[in-house]
């Protein structure tokens, strides 16, 4: 039987001389325990900016410890292959991560998720082909279910992340793919996985490979369809959901391999992603099911709402007047949105901020929880540009100050400043908490085109009396303003 | 089409319904403009300036006989008699109070638009004379107050002694009240403003005033705006509040008006006695009977040493700007009506229909009520439509608990012991993760995602176990394991590096 306290795989079939290794057998689980603690400290470190960098080092230490300890495990050999694979992976990883622009961060994160998914599928297949020791009865069935879960969740994560990457990278349209009967399709695919599981679990050991591949195939289609049917505006939720899936995959692999470290880490990551998704959904006042299965913004409800949209005329503000108003102001709040990321305007925004601060004008940023394409996306972009994080406020922190604000600049944001979320129960974004920019003295909306936001909703903010429009690419507009400010100094 | 601008008939009126500037605009719209002699002279618009703008100077009768007559005040019946048959009139009319005028207009088969009836909607604001005149009245009220007040409005500290800022109380934070608030603040006074609508608080504070209200749950605010009557408790509390402030208040400006009804009495005789001698009350509601007990319409009187200003022509005391604003409002309305060529009374146009009192001799007042959702500013946003979180049904909770219990029972009875151990680790880790993540700063959610992503590369360990075990590197499980190691290491290294890059960018100001 298994040693009761040893969760890791200790194959009974290996030669006795390997078990008689020079390392005590408790060392590996203890190393795993320490690695697990380091991961917990790593995530805990992210609770504040001051400790975040240290948190990342904890994570690295945990990972190094886990890998080294595993390699020293008595049954592990073939170091050459492993070293080669890790070395090559590290080089590719460094190349990807060192070069990526901060605006492409969402794509990179999605792409990295797909690697975890694919790796989990491969480990699952490998484990099935070589379980390490023979299993019987309920153990065999449980092990089969563990493999199956690992492969299925891994495949969903893999293809889902690939689709998410393609959407975020602009290789696929951000529009949701809405097949007729898509809910039924999801159910059919799920049923197919369950159906395929029966012959797989009944097959003789090592002969169910075909069924396992079929399960992987069906799960891949499910992953593609699940993500393809979610619109671009919901990408923050999707990315964090995939993050969660990648954790659950690792946890399933942990069960499959009997490895507690994988289980701990997978559970940490899985619950982290799940909570992030739920925070995002709460910020949009929608249920997670609505996001995952909704095909949001393109259901019958949206066109119905647009029929009686409040229409009106918008008023543009000339550059000179805008500068006058900004220079007269004491309090300026900037609301960045995805448009700032697209236009790569964050550096121009930063120098604008510095200019105003130099003139004694108080500038702060108001960040909506779902601005951008990742949770916290705007914070990262502003940090990249060098904006100090202590003038970057969350929605709840700053909403109360907006009525006292002289000028609000909305840079490439739309749905997150839409007053109809509060006033129009028929609006698709009804009930979503929004930044109440219209309460300020003057709201200037920087907008690329004259279209609607991602949710497809007309924004009555644009027609308000105290709102002015400033059309153009976000970066061009900010640079024009910066140039004009220089002239006035 | 000829537009006539007769001189205002009302005694003491200095305003005029057109200015040289608006005359020019009207001529551009295709009208001929005839201005009565000296119509604008009291507002500093001499006849020559009208002539320069392209108007003809005519006598009073000729001006009244034009196709369209523009006036500030409601005309008298005698003046209407001078209108031509089927002519049009734009002016203040107060149709609800002036039935005789409506009859005279109907008898003339006239068309009359009452400027005071233009609905207060955003689109019609450019034609809203009540707002533009209210603004002027509020400003002038402060000027009159300072005229009758024996001290500075702003505080001063000099070698000859110091003077505290005057304390001004504005009652009713409508357009006029807010304007008075702003003007008094501009002179340096400390300003308090009272309104029964809690929604006025924000506007008061935005102008630097301090909002006073009554500590009673019942607010004066319904979804639509004013409540008709406040409860007795509310009024008592309001009066107590005023009495509390009366001894320290130097200037009271009252602006409480209920359309078509006598003004409510808010500043009572005993409050006047409580005030310091030399204090000032400016009553903007004097024409409707006054908000203050003791107000005499059109006059300044002293009661218990307090000066009560009851002028009814505050707006007319700033005749130039008032005429310009009024004329601009009227010009905007005429443009809305299509100008000379496209002249058309459009019943579908909410602003025009609201103002339309008489059309070709037919009575059109009052305009049908238009169903409108309450303006968004009135209701506190959080309460508008935030959907009630559905209370979890008792049944659902029972089912959930039952499922929970049976899953755990099934695991306990069926699963092998090592699975149960792993399962315990799993469940506890989920709880640890759950607790940890809530503490993460929102701004760090992207780095969090990147770091958890890197950590989820722990699948690397699985790859190592699978690869390391195999004897031959060409065996399928080993190859699969090695590829898994490759992918997972990309993820681990890339994830940590990218997190590091992101975190390195966060810095504190200064």
ipTM: 0.76
DSSP letter at B393 equals P
Residues 194-253 of B with CB under 8 A from A: 202, 205-206
Q: Which residues numbered 137-196 in A keep a CB inside 8 Å of some CB on B?
A: 138-139, 142
Is B449 in CB contact (< 8 Å) with chain A? yes
Cα separation of A139 and A135, whole Å? 6
- Check A82 against B482: CB less than 8 A apart: yes
Beta-bridge partner residues of B32: B2
pLDDT band at A296 (very low <50, low <70, confident <90, very high): very low
**Residue A119 is nearest to which of B385, B484, B493, comparing CB atoms?**
B484
Q: Are strands B306-309 and B300-303 parallel, antiparallel or unpaired?
A: antiparallel
d(CA A257, nearest CA chain B) in Å? 7
Q: How far apart are CA A98 and CA B90, in angstroms?
A: 72
For a pLDDT cut of 90, what percent of chain B falls above it?
A: 47
Distance of CA A57 to the CA centre of its chain: 21
Q: Going along B274-396, which residue ranges are E strands?
A: 280-283, 300-303, 306-309, 356-359, 362-363
CB of A275 less than 8 A from some CB of B: yes
CB contact under 8 A, B437 and A275: yes
Would you kindly state where each structural domain of chain B is located, as residue ranges? 2-126+319-363, 133-317, 416-504
**For A238-281, how does the pLDDT look when each residue is reduced to its tens digit (9 = 90+)?**
888 888 988 998 998 888 888 889 999 999 999 988 888 888 88
- Short-list A228, A237, A251, CA closest to A160: A228
Check residue B373 and report its DSSP letter.
P
**Residue B411 confidence class, pLDDT cut points 50, 70, 90:** confident
For chain A, what is the largest distance between any 2 Cα atoms, rounded to a whole number of angstroms? 85
Rg of chain A on CA atoms, in Å: 26
CATH second-level architecture of B2-126+319-363? 3-Layer(aba) Sandwich (3.40)
Q: Which residue of A has its CA nearest to B427?
A: A267
Contact B473 A81 (CB under 8 A): yes
> Which of these is catalytic: B41, B67, B84, B226?
B226
Asked if A285 lies within 8 A of B421 by C-beta distance, the reply is no
State CA B10 to chain mean position distance. Answer: 33
Backbone dihedral angles phi then psi of residue A11, each to the nearest 5 degrees: -60, 135
Residues A31-72 pLDDT 10s: 898 999 999 999 888 888 788 888 899 999 999 999 988 888
- Mean predicted confidence (pLDDT) in A319-323: 88
CA–CA gap between residue A13 and residue A420 (Å, rounded): 67
pLDDT band at B50 (very low <50, low <70, confident <90, very high): very high
Q: Please list, in sequence order, all residues whose beta carbon lies within 8 angstroms of the beta carbon of residue B510, skipping any fewer than 6 positions away.
A: A388
Average pLDDT, chain A: 81
Is residue A130 scored above 80 in pLDDT? Answer: no
CA atoms within 13 A on the CB side of A60: 15
User: What are the angstrom distances between the C-alpha of A135 and each of A470, B363, B442?
Assistant: 69, 96, 46
Does residue B462 belong to the interface with chain A, where contact is any CB pair within 8 Å?
yes
- Report the first-to-last Cα separation within chain A, whole angstroms: 81
Give the residue, A486 or B282, on which the prediction is more confident: B282
Average pLDDT over residues B296-313: 93
So what's the pLDDT on residue A230? Answer: 80
Domain B133-317 class, CATH top level: alpha beta
Measured between alpha carbons, how far is B329 from B18 in angstroms, rounded to an integer?
Answer: 10
Catalytic residue list contains B421: no
The neighbour count for residue A386, using CB atoms within 10 Å, is 14
The pLDDT value given to residue B381: 32
Q: Do B448 and A76 touch (CB under 8 A)?
A: no
The owner of tokens 């039935």 is B99
Give the number of other Cβ atoms within 10 Å of residue B240's Cβ. Answer: 12
% of chain A beyond a pLDDT of 70: 86
**Chain B CB contacts of A118 below 8 Å:** 484, 487
**Which of A170, A157, A84 minimizes the C-alpha distance to A115?**
A157
Active site residue B131: yes
pLDDT tens digits for range A354-395: 999 888 889 999 998 778 777 778 888 888 888 888 888 888
Helix, strand or coil, per DSSP, at residue A251: helix
Residues of chain B in contact with residue A93, where contact means CB-CB under 8 angstroms, are 489-495, 497
Name the residue of chain A whose CA is nearest to B434's CA.
A271
Give the angle B245-B246-B248 at the CA atoms, nearest 5°.
70
Q: How many Cβ atoms are within 10 Å of B318's Cβ, its own excluded?
A: 20
Beta bridge partners, B193, equal B170, B211
**B444/A46 Cβ within 8 A:** yes
Residues of B in contact with A125 (CB under 8 A): 480
Average pLDDT over residues A110-129: 89
Catalytic residues of A: 415
In whole angstroms, give the CA distance from residue A358 to residue B39.
53
Interface of A with B in 31-60 (CB under 8 A): 36, 39-40, 42-44, 46-49, 52-53, 55-56, 59-60
By Cβ distance, the residue of A4, A132, A263 closest to B425 is A263
pLDDT attached to residue B396? 73
Binary contact (B469, A11; C-beta < 8 A): yes
For residues A365 and A382, give the distance between their C-alpha atoms in angstroms, rounded to a whole number: 9
Alpha helices in B3-128 (DSSP H): 20-28, 47-53, 60-64, 77-81, 99-107
Spatial distance between the Cα atoms of A285 and A237, rounded to a whole number of angstroms: 12
Check CB contact under 8 Å for B451 and A43: yes
Show the tokens assigned to B502. 């992101």
Which residue from B448, B96, B83, B52 is spatially nearest to A380, judged by alpha carbons? B448
Q: Which of A56, A73, A367 sits opposite B499 (nearest CB)?
A: A56
Q: Which residues of B touch A52 (CB under 8 A)?
A: 444, 447, 503, 506
Do A254 and A261 contact (CB within 8 A), yes or no? yes
**Mutation test of the interface with chain A: which of B378, B494, B508, choosing the one with the most A Cβ atoms within 10 A?**
B494
The helix (run of H) or strand (run of E) holding residue A105 is: helix A105-129
Among B415, B337, B268, which residue's Cα sits nearest to residue B115?
Answer: B337
Neighbouring CB atoms inside 10 A of A227's CB total 29
Q: Please give the pLDDT value at position A332.
A: 93
Q: Give the C-alpha separation, A331 to B439, whole Å.
A: 30
Q: Cβ separation of B491 and A259 shorter than 8 Å?
A: no
CB spacing of B502 vs A102 below 8 angstroms: yes
Q: What are phi and psi of B95, to 5 degrees?
A: -60, -30
Determine contact: A330 vs chain B, CB below 8 A.
no
What is the per-residue pLDDT for A455?
53
Model pLDDT, residue B473: 63
d(CA A4, CA B143): 91
Distance from CA of A252 to the nearest CA of B (A): 10
Q: How many CB pairs under 8 A join A and B?
A: 432
Both tokens of A380, joined, read: 């990262």
Q: Which positions 415-444 of A are in contact with B (Cβ < 8 Å)?
A: 419, 422-423, 425, 430-431, 436, 439, 441
Q: Which residues of B touch A268 (CB under 8 A)?
A: 429, 432-433, 436, 452, 455
Q: What is the pLDDT of residue B489?
A: 92
C-alpha span between A114 and A102 (Å, rounded): 19
Q: Which residues is B58 bridged to in the sheet? A: B36
Q: How confident is the model at residue A133 (pLDDT cuts 50, 70, 90)?
A: low
Asked whether residue B224 carries a pLDDT value surpassing 50, the answer given is no
Instruction: Report which of A482, A370, A349 is spatially closest to residue A435, judged by C-alpha positions.
Output: A370
Give alpha helix (H) positions in B155-250: 175-186, 200-206, 232-245
- Residue B5: per-residue pLDDT: 96
- Between CA A157 and CA A227 the distance in angstroms is 10
Query: Which class for B9: exposed (0-12), middle (13-18), buried (19 or more C-beta within 10 A)?
Result: middle
What pLDDT does residue A454 have? Answer: 53
- Judged by CB atoms closer than 8 Å, whether chains meet at B443 and A422 is answered as no
Q: What is the pLDDT of residue B378?
A: 33
Do you find a cis peptide bond into B11, omega within 30 degrees of 0? no
Cβ distance A254 to B422 less than 8 Å, yes or no, reads yes
Say if the Cβ atoms of A82 and B468 lie within 8 Å: yes
* Tokens 């009977």 -> residue: B289
- pLDDT, one tens digit per residue, over B346-367 is 888 888 998 999 999 899 888 8
Contacts of B342 (CB under 8 A, 6+ apart): none
- The conformation of residue A222, written as its DSSP 8-state character, comes to H
């Amino acid at each position: 039987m298994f040693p009761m306290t040893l969760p890791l795989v200790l194959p009974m079939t290996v030669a006795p001389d390997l078990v008689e290794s020079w390392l005590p057998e408790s060392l590996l689980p203890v190393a795993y325990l320490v690695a697990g603690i380091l991961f917990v400290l790593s995530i805990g470190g992210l609770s504040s900016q001051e400790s975040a960098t240290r948190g990342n080092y904890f994570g690295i230490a945990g990972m190094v410890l886990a890998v080294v300890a595993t390699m020293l495990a008595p049954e592990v050999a073939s170091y050459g292959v492993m070293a080669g694979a890790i070395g090559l992976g590290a080089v590719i990883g460094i190349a990807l991560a060192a070069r990526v622009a901060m605006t492409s961060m969402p794509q990179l994160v999605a792409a990295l998720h797909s690697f975890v998914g694919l790796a989990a599928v491969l480990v699952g297949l490998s484990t099935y082909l070589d379980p390490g020791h023979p299993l019987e009865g309920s153990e065999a069935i449980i092990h089969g279910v563990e493999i199956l879960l690992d492969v299925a969740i891994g495949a969903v994560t893999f293809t889902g992340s690939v689709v998410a990457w393609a959407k975020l990278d602009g290789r696929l349209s951000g529009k949701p793919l809405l097949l007729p009967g898509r809910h039924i399709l999801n159910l059919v695919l799920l049923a197919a996985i369950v159906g395929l599981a029966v012959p797989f679990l009944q097959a003789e050991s090592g002969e169910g490979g075909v069924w396992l591949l079929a399960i992987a195939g069906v799960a891949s289609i499910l992953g593609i369809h699940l993500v393809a049917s979610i619109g671009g505006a919901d990408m923050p939720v999707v990315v964090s959901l995939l993050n969660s899936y990648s954790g659950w995959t690792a946890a399933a692999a942990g069960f499959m391999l009997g490895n507690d470290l994988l289980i701990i880490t997978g559970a940490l990551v899985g619950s982290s992603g799940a909570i992030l998704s739920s925070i995002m959904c709460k910020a949009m006042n929608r249920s997670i099911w609505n996001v995952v299965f909704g095909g949001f913004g393109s259901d019958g409800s949206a066109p119905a709402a647009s029929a009686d949209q409040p229409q009106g005329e918008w008023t543009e503000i000339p550059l000179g007047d805008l500068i006058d108003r900004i220079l007269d102001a004491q309090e300026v709040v900037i609301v960045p949105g995805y448009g700032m990321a697209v236009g790569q305007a964050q550096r121009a925004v930063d120098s604008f901020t510095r200019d105003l601060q130099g003139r004694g004008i108080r500038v702060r940023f108001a960040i909506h929880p779902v601005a951008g394409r990742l949770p916290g996306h705007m914070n990262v972009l502003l940090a990249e540009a060098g904006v100090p994080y202590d003038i970057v406020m969350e929605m709840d922190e700053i909403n109360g100050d907006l009525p006292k604000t002289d000028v609000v600049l909305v840079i490439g944001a739309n749905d997150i400043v839409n007053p109809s979320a509060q006033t129009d129960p028929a609006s698709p974004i009804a009930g979503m908490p929004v930044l109440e920019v219209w309460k300020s003295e003057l709201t200037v909306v920087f907008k690329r085109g004259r279209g609607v936001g991602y949710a497809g909703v007309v924004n009555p903010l644009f027609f308000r009396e105290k709102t002015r429009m400033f059309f153009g690419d976000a970066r061009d507009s900010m640079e024009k303003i910066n140039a004009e400010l220089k002239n006035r100094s | 089409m000829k537009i006539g601008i007769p001189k205002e008939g009302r005694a003491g009126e200095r305003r005029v319904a057109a200015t040289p500037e608006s005359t020019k605009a009207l001529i551009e719209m295709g009208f001929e403009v005839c201005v009565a002699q000296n119509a604008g002279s009291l507002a500093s618009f001499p006849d020559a300036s009208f002539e320069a703008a392209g108007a003809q100077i005519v006598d009073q009768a000729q001006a009244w006989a034009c196709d369209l007559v523009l006036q500030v005040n409601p005309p008298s019946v005698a003046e209407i008699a001078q209108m031509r048959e089927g002519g049009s009139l734009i002016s203040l009319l107060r149709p609800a109070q002036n039935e005789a005028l409506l009859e005279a207009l109907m008898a003339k088969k006239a068309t009359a638009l009452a400027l005071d009836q233009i609905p207060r909607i955003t689109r019609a604001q450019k034609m809203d004379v009540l707002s533009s005149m209210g603004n002027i009245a509020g400003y002038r009220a402060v000027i009159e107050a300072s005229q009758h007040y024996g001290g500075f409005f702003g505080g001063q500290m000099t070698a000859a002694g110091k003077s505290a800022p005057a304390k001004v109380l504005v009652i009713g934070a409508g357009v006029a009240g807010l304007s008075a608030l702003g003007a008094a603040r501009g002179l340096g006074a400390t300003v308090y403003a009272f309104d029964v609508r809690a929604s006025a608080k924000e506007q008061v504070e935005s102008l630097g005033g301090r909002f006073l209200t009554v500590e009673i749950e019942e607010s004066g605010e319904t979804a639509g705006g004013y409540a008709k009557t406040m409860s007795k408790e509310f009024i008592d509390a309001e009066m107590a509040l005023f009495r509390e402030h009366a001894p320290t208040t130097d200037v009271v400006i009252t602006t409480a008006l209920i359309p078509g009804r006598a003004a409510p009495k808010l500043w009572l005789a005993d409050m006047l006695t409580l005030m310091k001698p030399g204090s000032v009350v400016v009553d903007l509601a004097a024409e409707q009977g006054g908000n203050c007990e003791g107000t005499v319409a059109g006059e300044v009187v002293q009661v218990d040493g307090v000066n009560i200003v009851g002028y009814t022509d505050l707006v007319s005391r700033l005749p130039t700007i008032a005429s310009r604003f009024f004329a601009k409002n009227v010009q905007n309305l005429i443009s809305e009506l299509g100008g000379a060529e496209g002249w058309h009374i459009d019943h579908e146009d909410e602003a025009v229909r609201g103002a339309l009192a008489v059309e070709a001799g037919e009575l059109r007042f009052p305009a049908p009520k238009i169903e409108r959702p309450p303006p968004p500013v009135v209701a506190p946003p959080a309460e508008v439509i935030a959907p009630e979180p559905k209370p979890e049904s008792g049944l659902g909770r029972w089912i959930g608990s039952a499922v929970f219990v049976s899953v755990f029972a099934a695991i306990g009875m069926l699963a092998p012991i090592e699975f149960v151990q792993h399962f315990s680790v799993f469940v506890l880790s989920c709880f640890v993760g759950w607790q940890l993540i809530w503490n993460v700063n929102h701004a760090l959610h992207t780095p969090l995602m990147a770091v958890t992503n890197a950590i989820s590369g722990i699948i690397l360990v699985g790859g190592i176990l699978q690869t390391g075990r195999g004897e031959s590197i060409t065996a399928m499980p080993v190859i699969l394991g090695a590829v898994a190691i490759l992918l997972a290491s990309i993820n681990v290294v890339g994830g940590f590096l990218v997190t590091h890059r992101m975190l390195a960018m966060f810095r504190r100001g200064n």
